[in-house]
Each structure stands twice: as C-alpha cells, then as structure tokens.
Amino acid sequence: MPIPKYDEITLPFLEILSDQKEHTLREIIDLLAAQFLLSVTEKAQLLPSGQQPVFDNRVGWARTYMKKAGLLESAKRAHFRITVSGLELLQSKPKKIDADVLAQYPEFREFISPKREPGKTPPPEPKKYDDTPLEKLENAFLGLQQTLAHDLLEQVLVGSSSLFERIVVDLLVQMGYGGNRKDAAEAVGRSGDEGIDGIIKEDPLGLDTIYVQAKRWRGTVGRPELHRFAGALQGQRAKKGIFVTTSDFSKEAQDYAKNIEPKIVLIDGRRLTDLMIEHNVGVTLGTNYQLKRVDSDYFSED
C-alpha cells in the first residue's frame, strides 16, 4: 500500500498510546508499520536527501504536531505518553486527527502561526498537511536541483566543443582522475569531432589508465556507437572506459555495456549535470541554509 500521509498516522498513533504507558518513537514506528502493512521496501524508502526513511519522518512529525497540541507529553528522554487531552480526544471518537482537529488547541495554533511583530502579515494557516515540513523542504530543494541540471545541460549544448572539452576535463579532475588539470588537459581533447577522446590517469600516480570518449549531441547514443568505442578500447588494450554524452543511451546500448569487457561506464546528460553539481563544476553557491535540530546528548543528565 502507499506510505500513509502523516495526518493519516496521527489517529492510530494516539490510539496506541491509549494504554497510558510510556513508549519510544521507535516502538511506535514499528507498530504503525505493521498496522499499515508496509513492505520492507516501503519502510526503507528514503527522503530525497537520503538521510531518513519517509515513514519514520512522517511518524516523527505526527508526534511533534500532537505534542504541540498537548495530546501527548515527554515522560523522560526519548519516551512519551498520552495526556488527559489526548484521552478526551479519543473518547470523542474522531474519524481522523488532521489539521482542522488540531487547530482547536491554542498551543497548536500558536505553533503553526506564532505571533508576529506589529505591522507584519502572519502566514496563512495550513488547511491540510499532506507532506511534512521536511518533505516540503527537500522536495523544493530537489525541484531546484532539477531546474539547475536542466539549465546546465542547455549551457553545455549551446557552448563550443572546446568548452565541452574543458567541462569534462574539469569534472574528471574534480572527481580525482587525470592527475592534475595540466596532465588531464594534455591527455584529452585530441579529437576535432565536437567531442573529446583520450587516455587519462585513473589515479594521480598513473597506475592505471581510462579511455574517454564524449559526444556533445542531442540524439540518443545507440549500440553501434558503444560497439565502436569497445573496439577502440581493445585497440588500446584498455581495461576501462568512460563514455560521456549530453543526451542519453538506448536500452540496447546500456545492456551491451553491462555485458562486455572491457568495463565501460556510461554518463548521460542527466548524470553529467548531476556530477557537475555534486563536484561544483560550472556552478556557484547561492544562499546557504542550515537546518538545525535539538542535540539530545547535550541535554542528557545521565
């Protein structure tokens, strides 16, 4: 089944606490995962950052919102239990505990829309909260990254072949290949066919080499191009190759590359721009936001 939204988690979460015992978040996550019949794959699905499982994040925010509304309270470090308000809410037999239900509690309203300085317009109160705040943040960041990748690829496509050569050289050096930039620049860029071909060092000492070919075009790279590249590798007695394109590879080309020797790594336009972003090639840092959390160890008195 689809991973439940966290406003679908709050009611069964609170029902588990109705035993009035202390529970840890990990206990609740495991009980709810079993209740929602989540598969191993669904429980392991990560947020875009890869830092936390989606389900764990949603259960955590369900807890935070109910705690802010006064429906549960911290019993001791990493433990919590239901409050009188929480028991009273369950006794009213709600069909769902969503933002509208939580908004009846002044503490929750203050949490989602704190008092502002005079003259400043407060933000509108949320009507529904399908995604957690962290999910919204990470999805927005992912959208910005995708837009940046698209813009980068357009710049690569409209640039000259020499610019493309410089981009690939800079990227390989930033990734730790080719020795220094001077060595890499001398080793590649030997072709005048709007691409680059050459042999670069796999490591700074040159203990092994990698044959590189790149094609700056908009058409799909098919198996024939990979077949010719594999032949070139064999002619060079090379064991490894990198094929870079600004477009993509056909399924036949991908299957071919997986099943041949020497080893060929395929880098399509999307992966090229992702690597450029990751290794800071052709991009510059904009506004930097730091996401902070409570350091539980700092407050431990054990």
Has residue 161 been placed in a domain?
yes
List the one residue out of 14, 29, 4 whose CA is nearest residue 65: 14
The answer on 157 and 99 residing in a single domain is no
Chain centroid to CA 66 = 27
* Full-model pTM: 0.62
One-letter amino acid at 291 equals: L
User: Percent of the chain beyond pLDDT 90?
Assistant: 39
The answer on 89 and 44 residing in a single domain is yes
List the one residue out of 109, 198, 242, 218 whose CA is nearest residue 154: 218
Q: Assign 3-state DSSP to the chain and report helix, strand, coil percentages, each to 5.
A: 45, 15, 40
The answer on 169 and 98 residing in a single domain is no
The answer on 161 and 115 residing in a single domain is no
pLDDT at 114: 60
**Average pLDDT in the 194-213 region?**
70
Query: What's the CATH code of the domain at 171?
Result: 3.40.1340.10
Query: What's the CATH code of the domain at 54?
Result: 1.10.10
**Average pLDDT in the 146-159 region?**
84
pLDDT at 104: 93
pLDDT over threshold 90, residue 161: no
The answer on 158 and 123 residing in a single domain is no
pLDDT at 192: 42
The answer on 162 and 123 residing in a single domain is no
Has residue 1 been placed in a domain?
no
Has residue 99 been placed in a domain?
yes
Question: Do 215 and 225 form a contact (C-beta atoms < 8 A)?
Answer: yes
**Average pLDDT in the 244-273 region?**
92
Number of domains in the chain: 2
Sequence-ordered list of residues with C-beta below 8 angstroms from that of 297, at least 6 positions apart, any chain: none
pLDDT tens-place string over residues 43-73: 999 888 788 899 999 999 899 899 989 999 9
Q: Which DSSP state fits 46?
A: B
Lowest mean pLDDT among 1-5, 79-83, 114-118: 114-118
Measured over the CA atoms of residue 177, residue 179, residue 181 and residue 183, the dihedral's sign is negative
b vs e for 131-160, b when ≥16 Cβ sit within 10 Å of the residue's Cβ? bbebbebbeeeeeeeeebbeebbeebeeee
**Average pLDDT in the 95-101 region?**
92
Has residue 241 been placed in a domain?
yes
**Average pLDDT in the 5-25 region?**
94
The answer on 118 and 162 residing in a single domain is no
Kindly report the length of the chain: 302
pLDDT over threshold 60, residue 123: no
Sequence-ordered list of residues with C-beta below 8 angstroms from that of 198, at least 6 positions apart, any chain: 187, 188, 189, 190, 191, 211, 212
Has residue 217 been placed in a domain?
yes
Domain that holds residue 106: 6-131
Q: What is the largest CA-CA distance in the chain?
A: 78
Has residue 145 been placed in a domain?
no
List the one residue out of 171, 175, 194, 162 whose CA is nearest residue 283: 171
Has residue 158 been placed in a domain?
yes
